[in-house]
Amino acid sequence: MRWLDYWHVDAFANRPFTGNQAAVIPLDAWLGDDVLQAIGEENNFAETAFVVPDTSGAADYELRWFTPTSEVRLCGHATLASGHVLLVDSPSERVTFRTRHAGVLEVRRAGAGYELALPVGHVEARAMPELLAALGNDGRTFDSVAGAEDTTIVLFEDEAAVRALAPDMRALERIDRMAICTAPGTATDVVSRVFVPAWGVPEDSVTGSAHAVLAPFWAARLGRNAFTAHQASRRGGRLTVRLDGERAWLGGTCVTVVEGRFRLP
């Protein structure tokens, strides 16, 4: 029997039971992919993050993320949660992560919380009638042309339209895309909801990688490189977004909900 250190963190949250849940499990060396996926399924969070000390010299740690059904190419909230676990009792101001598809990511302290640097994604206008039919509402669609993930932004006129969405999840499950539904916000500059049933996450609570795509999209429309954002999921989460060249800096706080051990046979 083997025991692994385990953290359950609410990311982009200032109190428990809000923001986005992530499990963080530090390892000395990589376990088999089948074991990592089985742990992700057992945790049943949007993501379980695994970190291993990086021996290449490129970063402090290697980092991988698993949903209950698959490994993903980029995850923001679980990276923020990993940074929180590694920095909360450390004198260090920053930690870096080498990833397999998104390059080197960084989490650094920022006041009472953290800032996370992610590579931005870019989109261009493209008709997506099947996606709009699955969402059950009309919007303007913009599909990914560059970035770590396949995403589609659906732009709506106002926050009410985004909050009212009730997608057909079975239809969305057949579309291999992250659907980022967004509009100008009321209490924040931007509001969004994110649906990813094809990747095992019907509606995500707070999605860092989506905001790395929203960063250049909304910076161009707002005429400034920094804005506030709210993801209007049931749990909800608020974050700051700052575009810096080809990086998006996402700001937020984290709360440790559970700290314990995960038992492997």
Degrees, nearest 5: CA angle 104-61-79: 65
85, containing H or E segment: helix 76-87
Active-site residue, 47 included: yes
d(CA 116, CA 202): 24
- Residue 130, classed as helix, strand or coil, is helix
Residues 33 and 80: their CA atoms lie apart, in Å, by: 22
Determine which one of 41, 42, 47, 203 is catalytic.
47
Alpha carbon distance, N-terminus to C-terminus of the chain: 5
State whether residue 153 is helix, strand or coil: strand
Q: Which of 74, 79, 101, 115 is nearest to 209 (CA)?
A: 74
Report the b/e string of 144-165 with b at 16+ CB within 10 A: beebbbebbbbbbeebebbeeb
Using DSSP, state whether 76 is helix, strand or coil. helix
Phi, psi of 20 (to 5 degrees): -120, 130
Catalytically active residues, by annotation: 47
